[in-house]
Structure 1
Amino acid sequence: MKKKPTAAAKKNSAPWGARLRGALAGMLPRWPGRDLAGALAGGGSRDDLPVRLSNRTYAGTRNVAVRELGFDQPLLWVVVALLAWGLVMVYSASIALPDNPRFSSYAHTHFVLRHGISMVIGVVAAMVAFQFPMRSWEKMAPWLFAVALVLLVIVLIPFIGRGVNGARRWISLGIMNFQPSELAKLAVLLYAASYMVRKMEVKERFFHAVAPMAVAVGVVGMLLLAEPDMGAFMVIVVIAMGILFLGGVNARMFFLMALVVVAAFALMVMTSDFRRQRVFAYLDPWSVEHALGKGYQLSHSLIAFGRGEIFGVGLGGSVEKLHWLPEAHTDFLLAVIGEEFGLLGVVVLIALFLWLTRRIMHIGRQAIALDQVFSGLVAQGVGLWMGFQAFINIGVNLGALPTKGLTLPLMSYGGSAILLNLVALSIVLRVDYENRQMMKGGRS
């Protein structure tokens, strides 16, 4: 009778390659998510999948759950980078202001501390705004628009609205001065997006679709021009028109409306003496008539860029911020960046804003593709807001556009601007979060 081979005999008769793998398997630990010892031993689980490379077949590894990001982290980090860079530049541009008799009672860190407080408040508000689903923002849009209108009226009341340099645009809240026009940008954006969703069935009938929205923007415009704040009005008009266009209104009639809007702005410039002087100063800022008048800011901004050359004079080395360039920490922060970081710094900054705008628009298109029209229009409206305002500020600083009081988003000094910029971007992140939830098969 033939004896059955023992376990030891079987082991000794196994191929030497199998014995080697078995020995290595005994010495190697089991790593989380990947059973390397089992793979070397030739064993596997029912989750293992074979992988074929060329003419060889290798044992697969166990399926590992991939951690999915809840929202667009590159977008978040670009925003953080712009905020951090802006904080440093506000400090650099404002550190010498207390040497001016006008700011003699302020500490050298006065503006950067207030800017930092505004950023903290903005981050907290953004975190709260992110918690609201987009259907809640759609319901709140008309009410938020009504609140913005009320605040635009209140800011015009004497002893309530705070005036600076002949403009009454701020309401003092103690820790910060709130600018209702910044809230109006977000309110009009949300209202226009919800309006287009409600008017989808008549979007090809131009006057039925556009006339009510035009009246709403016209009312906001009259209140803004009474402050006056033509820059904010321009941004709001671009946001509203962009959302109408992206929402699908009749293209030929839209471009006709765009021509009417351009003609209206041209008429406002022609009928306003100080706006007309700004245009003439922009055309020739170096003339004797304008160099010490309306062209003073622009001429010193250009000097700052000239001093910066390719690589800049170094952080903190700007001369123009030493009481030569007015509002260096607000509207003309880019000129200080150009002087201290040179052409290279300006190119990097422009690239960041281009990427930011493009990424926001992509998130909006993705939402529309998922049949979330309101969310998509809101995201694209924020992209138009950030992109257009950055374009205007950069153009003004470089002398490519007439001087206009618009801050550089996320960077210039200004409490309410930083606050509303962060809230708007948190809404975009919420849109992206809901997009990802829907693509995974969940509910928004």
Structure 2
Amino acid sequence: MIYRMNHTPSYSLPEFDQALIWSVLFLLGIGLVMVYSASAAIAEAQFGSDQSAHYLVRHVIYLLLGIVFGAAAFQVPVHIWQKYAIFLLLAGIILLVLVLLPGVGREVNGSQRWISLYVVNLQPSEMMKLFMIIYASDYVVRKAADLNCFYKGFLPLFALIVVMGFLLLQQPDFGAAAVITVLTIGILFLGGVSIKIFAGLLSLSAVAMFVLIYVANYRLERIIGFMDPWADPLGKGYQLSHALIAFGRGEWFGVGLGGSVEKLFYLPEAHTDFLLAVLAEELGFVGVAVVIVLFAILVTRAFAIGRQSARLECHFAALVAQGIGLWIGMQAIINMGVNMGVLPTKGLTLPLMSFGGSSITAVCFALAILMRIDWENRQRLRGVQRDDAWHSA
């Protein structure tokens, strides 16, 4: 059954969701300003006094790549993404294997997560998040009748999560493995899996994460450092203690754009994982609140687009839209929680804002698909309203 929006004439429907577009543009704009502010001193120290914009230029290049790929993705009808979901998944798994091969994968800070393409570096785990959203959405639609059956509906997808988790942990990339697992569970829940299976999957995931943290010393040390960063402020708690100092210095309105002290070689990863801490120091509580509101608008609109797709009986599109909203919202919450000391330190960037080529490119690509879903919804609504008007006449 198609739900009809009788209160809105077809000719008054805008082509795109204005709130979604403006929230994305504002987040990208704030991100550009803060990446330059947070990285200028580091760039000068690494590349020379005339290279303060080094990271900003690279950030802009990756953003332009994301816009170009996003523009191409927008031209692809949603049903095509569903048709080739399995091939996207296979391509993602192949990339996860390739990144582990000596001579192919590039190691940085003890992690082998990147494939060098000479001009840019590709981080397969970022694209894998989107590919998994698309595949899991298609899987739930295809297996709707079997979702409540453990062997037919749940077990194949669970086996896939285990395989991808294993590949990601070899890099190691615990954060991406956790995000992909939660995304898959979330899409299963949105698709109508039984509460019993959903609760069992959550329990298994929690136990698995506990074991993975316990058996790896460096993960356990992060948890210990998170519990009391001031117990070892020059060791395990170094990043978090300096992030909290940045938040404390910012107070209500911040010390002013460019005035951060913590970004001057005190706070590691200031332009990537801890960009929000620099923003909090320079723009204060008000600046952080604006960022949170913008992310809330973006995620709310993604779920609204998904609900509209469900009303129009486009169930694959509905799950993809809400999966993208879940991805961006969850990763933003995790990054903010890490910066504020609410969650243990984890290498996840702030979507649309942090410096990180593959991350911003993948998110722009995903948002283009979300906008395509919204655009197709609006075309269908226009058709329905046009038919209603014709029958009324």
Kept in 1, the 8 Å contact 2:175–2:347? The answer is yes
Kept in 2, the 8 Å contact 1:206–1:249? The answer is no
**CA apart distance, 1:252:** 1.8
The CA distance in 2 between the partners of 1:218 and 1:168, in whole Å, is 19
The CA distance in 2 between the partners of 1:105 and 1:442, in whole Å, is 60
More helix by share: 2
Correspondence 1:257 to 2:183: no
Judged with a 3 Å threshold, the aligned counterparts in structure 2 of structure 1 residues 304 and 140 are, in CA distance, closer, same or farther, namely same
**TM-score, reference length from structure 2:** 0.93
Quote the residue 2:361 is aligned against: 419
Higher relative contact order (CA 8 A, sep 6+): 2
Q: Which amino acid aligns with 2:95?
A: L
**CA apart distance, 1:175:** 2.7
Q: Which amino acid aligns with 2:218?
A: F
Task: Describe how 1:386-397 pairs up with structure 2 within 5 A.
Answer: 386-397=328-339
Correspondence 1:79 to 2:24: yes
The CA distance in 1 between the partners of 2:50 and 2:327, in whole Å, is 33
SS of the equivalent of 1:441 reads helix
Judged with a 3 Å threshold, the aligned counterparts in structure 2 of structure 1 residues 184 and 106 are, in CA distance, closer, same or farther, namely farther
Identity of aligned residues (%): 51
**CA apart distance, 1:68:** 3.3
SS of the equivalent of 2:112 reads strand
The CA distance in 1 between the partners of 2:150 and 2:318, in whole Å, is 21
Correspondence 1:223 to 2:167: yes
**CA apart distance, 1:366:** 1.0
Correspondence 1:431 to 2:373: yes
Judged with a 3 Å threshold, the aligned counterparts in structure 2 of structure 1 residues 442 and 426 are, in CA distance, closer, same or farther, namely farther
The CA distance in 1 between the partners of 2:75 and 2:154, in whole Å, is 32
Quote the residue 1:385 is aligned against: 327
Q: Which amino acid aligns with 2:57?
A: L
**TM-score, reference length from structure 1:** 0.83
Task: Describe how 1:172-187 pairs up with structure 2 within 5 A.
Answer: 172-187=116-131
The CA distance in 2 between the partners of 1:106 and 1:184, in whole Å, is 37
Superposed CA deviations along residues 51-105 of structure 1, whole A, max 9, x for unmatched, are xxxxxxxxxxxxx9945322212211110111111011000000001343x5559
Q: Which amino acid aligns with 2:86?
A: P
Query: Alignment partner for residue 35 of structure 2, among 90, 108, 130?
Result: 90
Kept in 1, the 8 Å contact 2:148–2:197? The answer is no
SS of the equivalent of 2:383 reads coil
Kept in 1, the 8 Å contact 2:113–2:171? The answer is yes
**CA apart distance, 1:204:** 2.2
Superposed CA deviations along residues 112-139 of structure 1, whole A, max 9, x for unmatched, are 0000011111101111100001100001
Q: Which amino acid aligns with 1:88?
A: V
Kept in 2, the 8 Å contact 1:238–1:384? The answer is no
Correspondence 1:340 to 2:287: no
The CA distance in 1 between the partners of 2:216 and 2:84, in whole Å, is 37
The CA distance in 2 between the partners of 1:350 and 1:191, in whole Å, is 29
The CA distance in 2 between the partners of 1:268 and 1:106, in whole Å, is 44
The CA distance in 2 between the partners of 1:221 and 1:103, in whole Å, is 37
Kept in 2, the 8 Å contact 1:162–1:169? The answer is yes
Superposed CA deviations along residues 172-218 of structure 1, whole A, max 9, x for unmatched, are 12332110000110111100000011101112223321111111111
Quote the residue 1:68 is aligned against: 13
Quote the residue 2:303 is aligned against: 361
Query: Alignment partner for residue 128 of structure 1, among 60, 72, 75?
Result: 72
**CA apart distance, 1:410:** 0.4
Correspondence 1:302 to 2:223: no
Kept in 2, the 8 Å contact 1:225–1:233? The answer is yes
Task: Describe how 1:186-265 pairs up with structure 2 within 5 A.
Answer: 186-265=130-209
Q: Which runs of 5+ in 1 are unaligned?
A: 1-63
Q: Which runs of 5+ in 2 are unaligned?
A: 1-8, 386-393
Judged with a 3 Å threshold, the aligned counterparts in structure 2 of structure 1 residues 286 and 65 are, in CA distance, closer, same or farther, namely closer
Judged with a 3 Å threshold, the aligned counterparts in structure 2 of structure 1 residues 398 and 136 are, in CA distance, closer, same or farther, namely same
Quote the residue 1:24 is aligned against: none
Q: Which amino acid aligns with 1:413?
A: F
**CA apart distance, 1:293:** 1.4
Query: Alignment partner for residue 375 of structure 1, among 299, 305, 317?
Result: 317
Superposed CA deviations along residues 25-57 of structure 1, whole A, max 9, x for unmatched, are xxxxxxxxxxxxxxxxxxxxxxxxxxxxxxxxx
Superposed CA deviations along residues 405-425 of structure 1, whole A, max 9, x for unmatched, are 000000000111111101101
The CA distance in 1 between the partners of 2:43 and 2:241, in whole Å, is 23
Task: Describe how 1:3-22 pairs up with structure 2 within 5 A.
Answer: none
The CA distance in 1 between the partners of 2:48 and 2:102, in whole Å, is 27
The CA distance in 2 between the partners of 1:185 and 1:312, in whole Å, is 34
Aligned CA-pair RMSD: 1.6
SS of the equivalent of 1:96 reads helix
Task: Describe how 1:88-127 pairs up with structure 2 within 5 A.
Answer: 88-100=33-45, 102-104=46-48, 107-127=51-71
SS of the equivalent of 2:14 reads coil
**CA apart distance, 1:294:** 2.0
Kept in 2, the 8 Å contact 1:122–1:419? The answer is yes
Query: Alignment partner for residue 294 of structure 2, among 327, 348, 352?
Result: 352
Q: Which amino acid aligns with 1:202?
A: D
Q: Which amino acid aligns with 2:274?
A: F
SS of the equivalent of 1:95 reads helix
Kept in 2, the 8 Å contact 1:206–1:250? The answer is no
Number of equivalenced pairs: 377
Q: Which has the larger radius of gyration?
A: 1
Kept in 2, the 8 Å contact 1:357–1:384? The answer is yes
Correspondence 1:161 to 2:109: no
Judged with a 3 Å threshold, the aligned counterparts in structure 2 of structure 1 residues 371 and 396 are, in CA distance, closer, same or farther, namely same
Q: Which amino acid aligns with 1:98?
A: A
